[in-house]
Amino acid sequence: MTDTTYKLHILDGTLEYVLKELLEKYPQAVILSTEKEEIEFEINIDGNIEIFRNLYSPLHIEDCNGRILKLSKREWRKGFVPAGINPSLAYILCMIAELKEEDIVLDPFCGSSVIPITALKYFNVKRVICSDISEKAISASKENFKVAGIEESKYKLFRSDIKSIKLSKRNIDKIVTNLPYGIRVGDHSGNIEIYKSLELLAKKLLRKRGLIVLLTQEKKLIREVFRKEEWNIKSLARVNEGGLLPEVFVIKKR
Ligand SMILES: C[S@@+](CC[C@H](N)C(=O)[O-])C[C@H]1O[C@@H](n2cnc3c(N)ncnc32)[C@H](O)[C@@H]1O
């Protein structure tokens, strides 16, 4: 490695998205090599490794002296839940959803709200609606929204089982969520009802051209619930997240 060379460490399955973010923010970067979990690139820049703090999709970056900057850490993430998503992956889900400033985003399995806060802070969406069945998740979310310095008018946060969510307005542009998938949270039989409820909710709340981006390991179930007669469903990436292999699905109304 020369002193203009850097290595990005990434989640397996996310190469395309990390390259996209890198080249959008640093068009002068020259890619030297790519592997499943690593991108090596060259760039002439003034300043040190700290300038790469504006990259949110990689896990970390290493310079030629072995100095490492952790890019998946978020200063606002003080509250945690079991099975919380890696913030780099949350960022990638938001990229895939092509979030826009006018979007209203729903996460009905918000956990500690890593996805909704990512959508507000880095994609500047109009508003997020987040809910979760667990009181602990709602407390963790409250803390994270506060530390992130997000105005209360930008989010609605409440405790609810997906099966009984009290929302009725068809004003959701994107649902971006990390479902319970029965390994660290829940079990398969419980998931059937939960996934069916998500499909019903999406039918009710999603605008005509709305989009769902979700992460799950229940690949068969998701295809059973979002029937192809009504939904267009595509698996975009399989991510290796700490030994689990969930997939990112993009779902649209037909
Ligand atoms: C995989 S976790 C999401 C983690 C979140 N993305 C984060 O980073 O904190 C799934 C979440 O679904 C919630 N959950 C499980 N069953 C639910 C249900 N029936 N209704 C609503 N939320 C539920 C769990 O409490 C958990 O927080």
Give the other-Cβ count within 10 Å of 147's Cβ. 15
What digits encode the pLDDT tens for the residues 109-140? 999 999 999 999 999 999 999 999 999 999 99
How many angstroms does the Cα of residue 153 sit away from the middle of ligand 1? 23
How many angstroms does the Cα of residue 133 sit away from the middle of ligand 1? 7
CA separation for the pair 210, 103 (Å, rounded): 10
User: How high is the pLDDT of residue 86?
Assistant: 96
What is the band of 2 on the pLDDT scale with cuts at 50, 70, 90?
low
What digits encode the pLDDT tens for the residues 37-76? 999 999 998 878 999 999 999 999 999 999 999 999 999 9
What digits encode the pLDDT tens for the residues 203-231? 999 999 999 999 999 999 999 999 999 99
User: How high is the pLDDT of residue 180?
Assistant: 92
Q: Among 81, 91, 114, 196, which is best to mutate for testing ligand 1, by the most ligand atoms less than 8 A from CB?
A: 81
How many angstroms does the Cα of residue 252 sit away from the middle of ligand 1? 22
How many angstroms does the Cα of residue 224 sit away from the middle of ligand 1? 21
Ligand 1 binding pocket includes 84 (Cβ within 6 Å): yes
Q: What is the mean pLDDT of residues 167-190?
A: 85
Q: Pick the closest to residue 51 from 63, 59, 40 (CA basis).
A: 63
User: How high is the pLDDT of residue 3?
Assistant: 80
Q: Pick the closest to residue 245 from 224, 219, 225 (CA basis).
A: 219
Ligand 1 atom with the shortest distance to the CA of 162: 20
User: How high is the pLDDT of residue 244?
Assistant: 86
Domain 87-253: CATH superfamily is Vaccinia Virus protein VP39 (3.40.50.150)
How many angstroms does the Cα of residue 109 sit away from the middle of ligand 1? 4
Residue 82's SS3 state is: coil
Residue 242 makes CB contacts below 8 A (sequence gap 6+) with none
User: How high is the pLDDT of residue 186?
Assistant: 58
